[in-house]
Structure formats: structure tokens, C-alpha cells
Structure 1
Amino acid sequence: MKRIGILGGTFDPPHMGHLIIAEEVRCAIDLDEIWFIPSHTPPHKQASTVSGADRLEMTKRAVEGNPHFRVSDIELRREGTSYTFDTIKALKQNETDAMFYFIIGGDMVEDLPNWYGIHELLELVQFVGVKRLGHELSSELPVKKVNIPFVDISSTDIRKRAISGQTFRYFVPDSVAHYIKEHGVYAGKS
């Protein structure tokens, strides 16, 4: 049975922290692959600031070179609110010989009991929690915990830097930085 980690998010933009989390979890629990899934409209966050097409392309560029990483546009194609329950159900229908591990930060672990369809979801996927500053990895629900190096990089900070003309080199892979600059992804945003 194939063991697949799922890392969802707006990826607005994808950054080195996302890649470090994915690789650390992959190695820690011996996953075959990590699938990055850009969300259309996350239920727990503000909507993204750029198009799904831009976020998808940046995510593809971010994972280039790692044979264990791939990108899925399943939530962007579905549109509407990106509920994990709907995504995992669809993935399970397409990948019948796979076990899925859904990777979430400590902030999401705390909110897990409030997720849409959580009890059915727990039968479909193993949640994997990674430590995030200011959040504990405690939940009454079954969550596999993985310790990762703490990297304090946020997409919000990268966007602010891009908008104000500050450097964000080494916050994102070079291929993502080039895309942001070439396409003016955050130009004119405030």
C-alpha cells in the first residue's frame, strides 16, 4: 500500500518552511510521497491574494527536483470552499491502494474537533501534527506527532516583503522568487 502525505494550504506563496515540513514528515514516518494541494477557498483562513493558477504554478516550481513531491490541483478544479473531508473522499476514490496522512500545524491540531465531517474523516486519513510556535500539539483526537526544526517563515511576511520591494531571497526557492518577480504576482497589492 502506498503511503502518501498530504500538505494543503493556500501556498500564497509556497516557501521553504512548507518544503522543510514536507521532507521532515516524509522521512520521519516513511512516506512514499508528499502531495501539495493548493486550496481554492480554505474554510479556516482568509482567501488567497492571487489567482489559483499563479499559486499552482508557484507550488509546482517549489517542489521541482524532489522526486517524492508532487502537486495536485484537485481543490482548485473543484472550486468553492476546500473542505478536507471532500478532498480526502475524492482522493480515496482515485487512489484505492493508498493510505493518506494529512499534515497539519499545531494551530490546526487545536481546531481539529471543529472540522467539517471530522468523525468520518478520521476513518479515511491519519492526521500528522507538526509543532508550530505558540501552539501545543494536544488533541483528544488521534494525531501522530512529528517534531520538525522550527522555521519562522510565513507567506504573509513574504507577500509584505514582495509588495514593499524588500528581499525575500532564501525564504522561497529561487524558481518561485523568479516567478513572483517575472509575473509581478504581488505587484500593486496592498
Structure 2
Amino acid sequence: MKHKKIGILGGTFNPIHIGHLVIAEQALAQLQLDKVYFMPDFIPPHIDAKTAIAAKDRVNMINLAIENNDQFGIEMNEIERGGKSYSYDTMINLKKAHPMNEYYFIIGGDMVSYLPKWYRIKDLLSLVTFVGVDRQGNSHMSKYPVKWIKVPTIAISSTFIRDSIKSNKNIIYLVPDKVLTYIKEHHLYE
């Protein structure tokens, strides 16, 4: 089996947007990864409860967003497992299935300060290299090792997109065209 450098970009992707795609592309290029997998969570383990549309719709939108890039893929481990999505459990499963892969877990720079609160963080560090997306105002201080990548600042969030749809505002150029069509056809976030 060939050793591969694999990026994992986890999230709720509710919905996936241009910012997610830019982060994945920059990680791919800057870290010379073989592939980046978008990994939607089933239920985020965050303390602040997040509500998301059905996993089926989030997965469909990810597939539409990445269909023209063969260096992007989707990792369904957390969706298929169900329940709360803990990164440690997921990475144990992925390492068992693909022991030769070297995993790079891509997180927003703002999440780095939360690493001490992650489930089984010390064990998780033996399974992945954390990659922090460097944004203005993020501290690089962490007691855990983090590789930092520079990404153009694109202040788009899934919350902003959902709120825009609820307010009947246009979201063109914030999401890929096929994702926009999917959202409209399925009357999502209205």
C-alpha cells in the first residue's frame, strides 16, 4: 500500500460554501496533500447545540460542490456511525482502515484554543497532525503542535448563508452554483 498524505476537513457543512472549498484547496497545495476529504458530522459534539438539516441533504450538497475536483472527496464515517461525532473515534476507524495514510486534521484557527477540551485530545494527537487555518486575530499559542496555513480571508459562514436565505437575500457566489440550485429546489433553510 502506498503512503498518502490525507487532509480531513470536518464540519457540519450546513451548507457547504466557497470558504470551505478555498480552505481545502489551500491545505492541499500548501501541505502537498494527496487528497482532502470533507467529513460531515452526524451530531456535532459542541457544548452549544447546533441544529442542522438532514445529513442526506448536507452530503448531497458536498458532493455537488466537489464533483469537479478529483483531489477532493467525502468521508462518510461519522454520518454512517451516527450519534455524536467525536474526532478521536473517527480517526481510530480511519487509521484501522488505512494504516499507511498520514492524516492532517484541518481546523479553523479559532478552534485551536478549544483543543484542550476535545475528547481524548492526547490520544488524538498520535493519530493526526492538526492544521490551523490562520485568520487575522487568531493566536498561535497552543500547548499542542499545530501546523499553520495561510488562507485568504473570506468572511462567509454557513450561519450567514442560512440567515440570508431566511431573509430572502441572494446567496449567489457564496455557494457553488449547483449547491444554490439544490437549496432552491429543496426549499432548504427557508
Q: Distance in 1 between matches of 2:63 and 2:181?
A: 13
SS at match of 1:61: helix
- Partner in structure 2 of residue 27 of structure 1: 29
Output aligned runs, 1:83-122, within 5 Å: 83-122=86-125
- Partner in structure 2 of residue 144 of structure 1: 147
For normalisation by structure 1, the TM-score amounts to: 0.95
* C-alpha displacement of 1:133: 4.4
Task: Structure 1 unaligned segments of length 5 or more: list them.
Answer: none
- Partner in structure 2 of residue 69 of structure 1: 72
Q: 1:10 touches 1:48 (CA, 8 Å); kept in 2?
A: no
Q: 2:135 touches 2:151 (CA, 8 Å); kept in 1?
A: no
Q: Distance in 1 between matches of 2:166 and 2:138?
A: 29
- How far does the alpha carbon of each residue in 1:5-55 deviate from its partner, in whole angstroms, 9 at most, with x for none? 000000000000000000001100100000001001111253333101111
Q: More deviation in 31-40 or 127-136? A: 127-136
Q: Distance in 2 between matches of 1:3 and 1:175?
A: 29
- Alignment of 1:181 with 2:181, yes or no, is no
RMSD after superposition: 1.1
* C-alpha displacement of 1:80: 1.0
Q: 1:88 touches 1:124 (CA, 8 Å); kept in 2?
A: yes
Q: Provide runs of 4+ in structure 1 moved above 3 Å.
A: none
* C-alpha displacement of 1:164: 1.7
- Alignment of 1:46 with 2:49, yes or no, is yes
Identity %: 47
Q: Distance in 2 between matches of 1:129 and 1:122?
A: 14
* C-alpha displacement of 1:137: 2.8
For normalisation by structure 2, the TM-score amounts to: 0.95
Q: Distance in 1 between matches of 2:57 and 2:136?
A: 28
Match of 1:8 among 7, 10, 15: 10
SS at match of 1:170: coil
**How many positions carry a matched residue from both structures?**
187
Q: Distance in 1 between matches of 2:92 and 2:50?
A: 23
